[in-house]
Structure 1
Amino acid sequence: MDPSGYESTDTSGLIPFIDNDVFDFAYGDTDNDERIIDAQYGSTALYVDGEDKLFGVNFADGRIKGYELEFYGSDKTFSAMFCRGNEMYGVNDFEPVGAEIVIDNATGLMWQQSDSLEGLNWEEALAYAEGLELGGYRDWRLPTAKELQGLVDYTRSPGTTASAAIDPIFSGTGITNENNEADFPWYWSGTTHENWENAEWAAYIAFGRAMGYEDSAWTDVHGAGCQRSDPKSGVLSENTTDFTYAASLDGLGGGYYQTDAPQGDAARVYNFVRCVRGGADGPDADTDGDGLTDWYEYNYASDATAMGAKADSDGDGVSNEDECTAGTIPTEEDSYFHLAGFSGSNSVESISWVSELDRTYTLEMSTNLTNGFTTVESGIATTAPTNTYLLDGTADAAFYRVLVE
């Protein structure tokens, strides 16, 4: 719970953005001229654009920002939390899947390679993800704040690499920011940023400059790669009490900023979307050993141990286990592995079946079921969403079946 604007000094009813039953945590010391939200923890990541900012996590207000090392003329101090082991944590292992999808083998998440191409409010962003069909998949969603933050490449920024702070395997739409500069968007997460008054804001990650209106000028106040929040909907207006409008330095562009933020954080209602699917620790992990991968269970039940392998969640006559094998969606009754049709007149010339990404198939034939099936071809690569196999037409009458390898 974000206590920004909280007027009391009593923090007993506040909930920090860290498990304080496990970790020691303290809000800012108001008796020592600190704000409640002065609880920033430093990291090892310096902002690559000038390196005068250190990225840190604020466990009081839930934001990740680049903090100026010399803050208002004095040296900025941070709390510290130390760790050891697993030096590969957070290192992405990206692999393209066709032209539209990128899989991160380090996390098991599958990402949209491009983006929404336009800014959307949060409700529109949810609807965009719900309606997205990409690479044969229809189960795309907004990423959580943690998932989206995991895409940030702190070696890149608009000012140093003329790119967004993300691996160049991804493409992104260019924008013009509040200072009339060529820039890159902020992207919505599906995570609500709750404060002590309401839940009307959602977290976003700035893959472009994190603009603010400070000292009567628009500037990159917190760095590409920071995490902040914006209103989920509405129209920012000069007449609101929360936001003020300011033109850019040359009189072009301009935008709204938060009047109660010390560095005048820019406020936007329309941010971009990069969708994700999957989840858990990796594509092949299976925590409960039921034959359903964690990725599969997490994606369709939001819990790596929630689905029953032999159950039929969508009532289409196919078990969750068989749908997992086929790569189909166990919560949609019209998504299941089946033959899509035949072509030909006197003899069958082709056979088609519904297919999915990351699957290969075997086609078998039998002219007499009592003698069993023989393999026509194995290792047939997917051409999702439908495969069509051309037959040689030598059999006057035959039975065919397709197996998922």
Structure 2
Amino acid sequence: AVRSGQIEPQDHFVDNTNFTVTDTATGLMWQQETQGYVAEWKDALELCEGLNLAGYNDWRLPNRNEMQSIVDYSSIYSTIDTTYFFPWAHPSYQYWSSTTDASNSDDAWGISFIFGGTVTCSKNVWFGCSNRILCVRSGQCGSFDDSDGDGVFDCVDNCPDDANPDQDDVDNDTIGDICDDDTIYGHASGDMQKDISIEINRLSCGSTLNVGSTLTDSDGYYAFSVPVSFGNGKNYAAKAVYASCTFEPESH
């Protein structure tokens, strides 16, 4: 067995309350509970591909890297977070992955959620392991590097070179706001109520051009960002319905 930690995915999990768990660091959605023991590897592949759960039918058997991404290598016993996974039973010893052993194509990798180690098993029922399966859907990370150290893997990070753990993307263009030239940042200062509508205008030749609007939030700090087509570095004014203020855009 091989145990070699990569990351500790703590606080990345969301219980979707439909027998699935989402890992916000990888974008993967996991089956919350095991489907039972499966002797042959090909049966494990087919069972996941045939699974219909939570309204989704694109489930598959996870690869070795994906299995390791939900292991907590800082834990001595039970290396999977049982707050989210296997809430009704303790995880069993070994689970199939979809990854074939590069040194022996008759074997496939498995992983133990008890000890966090990986082990190869024969794909053939007569010589193999009776492993359990845990299916996954969405995305497929080949590696789990995190270049900017924000806790979000590069393969799903919308701005892998700049730390942005919240993954904000106000214009939904798949480029994180922190590194998107088409997003304007600003802040409204002074005493303002929550849920106040703010209009964002571009000042040009004595006239204004509306480029967006937003509502003040409720935590006492009224920050906002709006998508614009002409990038940062322009002059803008923000006008609230019941209060007014001006701001300078914050360039990246």
Q: Normalized against structure 2, the TM-score is what?
A: 0.51
Instruction: State the secondary structure of the residue aligned to 1:64.
Output: coil
In the alignment, which residue of structure 2 is the partner of 1:270? Answer: 130
- Alpha carbons of structure 1 residues 292 and 276: separation in structure 2 relative to 1, 3 Å: farther
Instruction: State the secondary structure of the residue aligned to 2:45.
Output: helix
How far the C-alpha of 1:202 sits from its partner, in A, is 0.3
Instruction: State the secondary structure of the residue aligned to 2:111.
Output: strand
The answer as to whether partners of 2:7 and 2:72 remain within 8 angstroms in 1 is no
- Residue among 113, 121, 141 paired with 2:32: 113
Q: 2:9 aligned with 1:91, yes or no?
A: yes
In the alignment, which residue of structure 2 is the partner of 1:261? Answer: none
How far the C-alpha of 1:282 sits from its partner, in A, is 6.9
Q: Counterparts of 2:19 and 2:159 in 1: how far apart (Å)?
A: 27
Q: 2:23 aligned with 1:64, yes or no?
A: no
How far the C-alpha of 1:125 sits from its partner, in A, is 0.2
How far the C-alpha of 1:204 sits from its partner, in A, is 0.6
Q: 2:55 aligned with 1:136, yes or no?
A: yes
Aligned length: 148
How far the C-alpha of 1:98 sits from its partner, in A, is 1.6
- Letter of the structure 1 residue corresponding to residue 102 of structure 2: E
In the alignment, which residue of structure 2 is the partner of 1:170? Answer: 85
- Letter of the structure 1 residue corresponding to residue 112 of structure 2: A
CA deviation profile, 1:346-399 (whole Å, cap 9, x unmatched)? xxxxxxxxxxxxxxxxxxxxxxxxxxxxxxxxxxxxxxxxxxxxxxxxxxxxxx
- Residue among 103, 111, 119 paired with 2:22: 103
The answer as to whether partners of 1:122 and 1:188 remain within 8 angstroms in 2 is yes
Instruction: State the secondary structure of the residue aligned to 2:49.
Output: helix
How far the C-alpha of 1:155 sits from its partner, in A, is 4.0
In the alignment, which residue of structure 2 is the partner of 1:229? Answer: 120
- Letter of the structure 2 residue corresponding to residue 65 of structure 1: R
Q: Counterparts of 2:44 and 2:100 in 1: how far apart (Å)?
A: 13
Q: Counterparts of 1:285 and 1:120 in 2: how far apart (Å)?
A: 39
- Alpha carbons of structure 1 residues 155 and 173: separation in structure 2 relative to 1, 3 Å: farther
Instruction: State the secondary structure of the residue aligned to 2:2.
Output: strand
The answer as to whether partners of 1:122 and 1:270 remain within 8 angstroms in 2 is no
Counterparts of residues 5-404 of structure 1 (less than 5 Å): 64-65=2-3, 90-92=8-10, 93-158=12-77, 164-168=78-82, 169-171=84-86, 184-195=92-103, 198-208=104-114, 224-236=115-127, 268-279=128-139, 280=141, 281=154, 285=158
Q: Counterparts of 1:201 and 1:233 in 2: how far apart (Å)?
A: 8
Structure 1 unaligned blocks of 5 or more: 1-62, 67-87, 159-163, 176-182, 209-223, 237-267, 295-405
Q: CA RMSD in A?
A: 3.1
- Alpha carbons of structure 1 residues 173 and 96: separation in structure 2 relative to 1, 3 Å: closer
Q: Counterparts of 1:113 and 1:174 in 2: how far apart (Å)?
A: 11
Q: Normalized against structure 1, the TM-score is what?
A: 0.33
Work out which structure has the larger RCO, using CA pairs closer than 8 Å and 6 or more positions apart in sequence.
2
- Alpha carbons of structure 1 residues 157 and 133: separation in structure 2 relative to 1, 3 Å: farther
How far the C-alpha of 1:173 sits from its partner, in A, is 8.2
Q: Counterparts of 1:124 and 1:114 in 2: how far apart (Å)?
A: 18
How far the C-alpha of 1:165 sits from its partner, in A, is 1.9
The answer as to whether partners of 1:153 and 1:167 remain within 8 angstroms in 2 is yes
Q: Counterparts of 1:157 and 1:140 in 2: how far apart (Å)?
A: 30
Seq. identity, % = 35
How far the C-alpha of 1:65 sits from its partner, in A, is 3.2
CA deviation profile, 1:246-305 (whole Å, cap 9, x unmatched)? xxxxxxxxxxxxxxxxxxxxxx52211111111255768499xxx8969xxxxxxxxxxx
Q: Counterparts of 2:43 and 2:106 in 1: how far apart (Å)?
A: 14
Q: Counterparts of 1:172 and 1:121 in 2: how far apart (Å)?
A: 26
Q: Counterparts of 1:202 and 1:98 in 2: how far apart (Å)?
A: 32
- Alpha carbons of structure 1 residues 286 and 139: separation in structure 2 relative to 1, 3 Å: farther
- Letter of the structure 1 residue corresponding to residue 85 of structure 2: F
How far the C-alpha of 1:185 sits from its partner, in A, is 2.3
Structure number with greater Rg is 1
In the alignment, which residue of structure 1 is the partner of 2:212? Answer: none
CA deviation profile, 1:144-186 (whole Å, cap 9, x unmatched)? 101101111234455xxxxx320011007869xxxxxxx8220
- Alpha carbons of structure 1 residues 100 and 284: separation in structure 2 relative to 1, 3 Å: farther
